[in-house]
Amino acid sequence: MFYFDWAPVQWDEQLEHRTLRIILPITVSKNEDFWGFAESIDLRTEQYVNSENKIDYFASEEDSGNFYFTIRFHQDNINGVPYGLFATFYPDIKSFNLNELIIYVNVI
């Protein structure tokens, strides 16, 4: 099992939104059933993560032309104080190489 734990930055002012995008080193088809794929690999998140975020799964295309399984967590109207730790669980996948994990955080 892989455990991702992220503590958001505390800002002085309220944010319009925050998006965290995690690109996993798992090759997928561009037209994959991403919700079904997440279920098939037993991807789970904490209940508070589900209630605090809009969660989406999709494929990100890299320069190589390969598509990688991507998870997007989005929040609107965030006050300056983070609500706590952001935790997500991923299963043990044989081809999962943590050196290839890509994380993007967009804040406005």
Check residues 87 and 10 and name the one with the higher pLDDT.
10
What does the pLDDT read at residue 106?
61
Check residues 70 and 101 and name the one with the higher pLDDT.
70
Across the range 2-24, mean pLDDT stands at 78
64, amino acid identity: S
| Alpha-carbon distances, residue 49 vs 10, 41, 62, 77, 91 (angstroms) | 17, 18, 27, 16, 17
What does the pLDDT read at residue 13?
80
| pTM for the predicted model, two decimal places | 0.77
Across the range 61-89, mean pLDDT stands at 77
Q: How far is residue 26's CA from residue 18's CA, in Å, rounded to a whole number? A: 24
- pLDDT above 60 for 86: no
